[in-house]
Amino acid sequence: MRVAKIHVLEGQYNDARLDKVSGAIQEALIGALGIPPEDFFQLVHVLPRSQFRHTPAFLGLAYSDDLILLEITFISGRPKEKKLGLLKALNDNIIAAVGISPDDLISHSTRRPARIFPSAGACRSAPISQSLNPRTPRVPRFDECMSHLVADIVADIVADIV
C-alpha cells in the first residue's frame, strides 16, 4: 500500500490536469516498484495561496505557481536503486504529463515499517482457538494492524494541519 499526497496551488490544476498528475504517479509506481494497478491511494490537496507558500527560488531552482509538492509513503526496506528509480520515473512521468518545469516538482518519500500496512495473510482475524493455545504463534488481528495504520495516518494529518 503506497499513499501519494499531491499538494498544488488552487487555480493552477483543473480536474483534467490533476488526472494527468495522478496517472503519471501511478504509472511510475507500477513501473519502478512493480506494484499492482489496484494499489491506488492518493490524496490531492488543492490549497489557496495563503496556505501554499514557497520561495520563488532556492539553490539555483526557480519555482512557479505550477509547483507540485509530492509526498509518497511506502514500506521501508527497498534497495536504494529502487528508490532512485522511482524518483526518476516520478520526475519523468509528471513533467511529461503536465508540461511543468523540472524545478516545479519537489518529491519527498516517507518510509514506514511493514507492520502498519495490512496485507492479505499478514493481518487477519485469528481464530479464537489459536488465541487460547499458548504454543501457537500469535498472528496479529486485522483490527490491531488497522489501529497502527490509523494512528499513523492521524499523526500525519495532524502534522499537516499544525
pLDDT in tens, 37-77: 998 999 999 999 999 999 999 999 999 999 999 999 877 77
- Which is the CATH superfamily of the domain at 3-112? Macrophage Migration Inhibitory Factor (3.30.429.10)
pLDDT per residue as tens digits for the range 142-158: 555 556 566 666 665 65
Whole-number mean pLDDT of the chain?
Answer: 80
Q: Which of 36-45, 93-102, 124-133, 146-155 has the highest mean pLDDT?
A: 93-102
pTM of the model: 0.69
Boundaries of every domain in the chain: 3-112, 118-162
Q: H or E element: which one contains 146?
A: helix 142-161
CB-count exposure of residue 31 (10 Å: 0-12, 13-18, 19+):
middle
Burial class (CB in 10 A: 0-12, 13-18, 19+), 38: exposed
Q: At 131, is the pLDDT very low, low, confident or very high (cuts 50, 70, 90)?
A: very low
Q: What is the mean pLDDT of residues 118-137?
A: 49
